[in-house]
């Protein structure tokens, strides 16, 4: 397999996507933040002093998706046509599951934007709850699905 992000001198480069066709592209990413049950209960009950944790994490995740090329060096700036984030509070496993879906029509995909959205949403939850739970763990961040472009459809086996 040829590495597309390496130039003739062996250094990193941004891939030229001019010859690619515009296609509808969708990516879904997933991640979790594990915490103490008391922290999860306080999020549910609206008792976190900094405010509504999941609402702020929703906005933070969307902002993360929109700013992905500013923090991932070789990521193309793209026009995102949609970004949605959902949360599931799992009391049995003491975690919040996060799923982000990003969309665009363009020459390059939105996988990095979906992964960044999940990561920033999790980091926002951590930031808002760290005063009561510094032992939170962010993990399981992964691409679940992607469609569009020359490589077609990817769907992670569950």
Per DSSP, what are the bridge partners of residue 105?
24
Long-range contacts of 18-21 (CB under 8 A, 24+ apart): 18/107, 20/107, 20/108, 20/149, 20/150, 21/107
* 127: annotated active-site residue: yes
Q: How far apart are CA 61 and CA 56, in angstroms?
A: 9
Residue of 8, 22, 90, 127 with catalytic role = 127
Q: How far apart are CA 144 and CA 155, in angstroms?
A: 6
Active site residues: 127
């Amino acid at each position: 397999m040829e590495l597309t992000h390496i130039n003739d001198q062996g250094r990193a480069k941004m891939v030229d996507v001019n010859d690619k066709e515009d296609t509808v592209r969708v990516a879904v990413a997933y991640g979790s933040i594990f915490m103490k049950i008391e922290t999860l209960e306080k999020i549910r009950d609206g008792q976190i002093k900094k405010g509504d944790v999941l609402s702020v994490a929703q906005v933070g995740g969307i902002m993360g998706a929109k700013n992905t090329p500013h923090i991932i060096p070789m990521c193309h700036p793209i026009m995102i046509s949609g970004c949605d984030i959902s949360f599931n509070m799992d009391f049995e496993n003491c975690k919040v599951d996060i799923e982000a879906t990003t969309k665009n029509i363009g020459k390059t995909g939105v996988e990095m934007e979906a992964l960044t959205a999940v990561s920033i949403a999790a980091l926002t939850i951590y930031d808002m709850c760290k005063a009561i739970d510094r032992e939170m763990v962010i993990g399981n961040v992964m691409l679940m699905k992607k469609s569009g472009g020359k490589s077609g459809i990817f769907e992670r086996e569950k």
